Amino acid sequence: MNAIVLIILMMVIGAAIGGVTNSLAIKMLFRPYKAIYIGKYRLPFTPGLIPKRQPELAKQLGRMVVEHLLTAEGLKRKIEGQEFQNQLTNFAQREVEKALNHEATLQDLFENLEMNIDTQHVEESISTWIEDRYEGLMEKYRDQRLKDLITDKWSDKAEAGADQLAVYIQEKVHLFLASPEGKEKVGDLIDDYLNKQGFLGNMIQSFMGSERVIDRVHPVIIRYVTAGETTDWLQTMLRSELYSALNQRLSYFENQVGKHTITKGLGQAVTRTLPIEKWLNTSIAEWSKSFQSRIIFDVVPLLVPKATVLISSRIEKMMESMHLSEIVQEEVDSFNVGRLEEMVLGISKREFKMITYLGALLGGMIGIFQGILVLLFG
């Protein structure tokens, strides 16, 4: 009877030692979280294994993620896969359609982006751009003659235009002088001139009798104005002026008009022509109405494969620049050990219990074996 009690007692003691030892070993993986000191001396096995080795564990996990889990080759295969591209295309189409159907105006969009863009700002920007473009062109062509900048075709057109202008001027002058108002205006000018000539003017008017001078000279003036010689003279004069202008450098015209006047005039002309305020107050949906379907169904499916190829070709450099191993290391190093313990125990609770029970079983078997040895050799 005493032998059986001894064996049972040894078995219970062994099982308790095995179970408690395994349970304590599992706890010591995480606990204590911090080192415990008695005076200046740190107690052995504090902190627990994982808290103590957390920096090394973080470093090794960072290397393992980059070198074996999240590799550039794996990401390339995923990005270049047809399934991923189809998913990305569908996602991009939905997002683009949502953006293009937005009722916000361009002005609202700029305000959301904290961009100070209004009608005045746009007009000033356009004026500044025109001034810069004008100055850039004039720096290149300012010292060149006008005739060197136009083609022979335009030179011939300018000459033909001068001839047509001469005929037009002649016709307008003839119509004016032939009209009663024109005749009266010229007559008044002649009478005024003669009145200012004193004796000579009075003598000429006395020769005319009751008739006015204009009645005598008006037919002569009309014949002279409509004569072919007058046409030739006007055409020759306008051609001469045209040739003189064509031989001038662009700087001459710039100085005559004024650079500030030219740039300001060009800027105002362009800004008044463009409906800037209307554009800014037009919704994005209205802007994109005419080409929305083409962007969604043609442009997006065309751009997505190109974008994935570009990303795939740059993935290694992107990963290097992101320093993924350092990110993983920092995250693991800053991870709360208590939370990690809850996660691990929550996932492997049953397995840890089995380890504890196995320790108790082995301890009990060793206790039985020890009890038998004590009885045999005791």
Taking the CA atoms of 50, 53, 59 and 61 in sequence, report the sign of the dihedral they define: negative
Q: Could you give the CA distance from residue 148 to residue 175 in angstroms, rounded to a whole number?
A: 38
Supply the pLDDT for residue 201.
54
Q: What is the mean pLDDT of the chain?
A: 82
**Taking phi first (over 0 means left), then psi (-120 to 50 degrees means alpha), and beta for anything else, what does residue 258 get?**
left
Lowest-confidence pick of 133-137, 189-193, 263-267? 189-193
Cis bond upstream, residue 47 (ω within 30): yes
Helices 324-333 and 54-64, axial angle in degrees (round to 10) = 150
Residue 266: partners with Cβ closer than 8 Å, 6 or more residues away: 130, 134
pLDDT for residue 209: 46
Quick one: pLDDT band at residue 237, thresholds 50, 70, 90?
A: very high
Predicted confidence band at 31 (pLDDT cuts at 50, 70, 90)?
confident
Task: Please give the average per-residue pLDDT across 77-104, as a whole number.
Answer: 88
Count of CB atoms situated within 10 Å of the CB of 346: 8
Task: Give tens-digit pLDDT for 111-120.
Answer: 777 777 777 7
pLDDT in tens, 139-177: 888 888 888 888 888 888 888 998 899 899 989 888 888
Residue 50: pLDDT band (50, 70, 90) is confident
Q: What is the pLDDT of residues 197-210, one digit of tens each?
A: 665 555 555 555 44
Average confidence (pLDDT) over 232-243: 90
Distance CA 339, CA 115 (A): 44
Q: Which pLDDT belongs to residue 210? A: 43
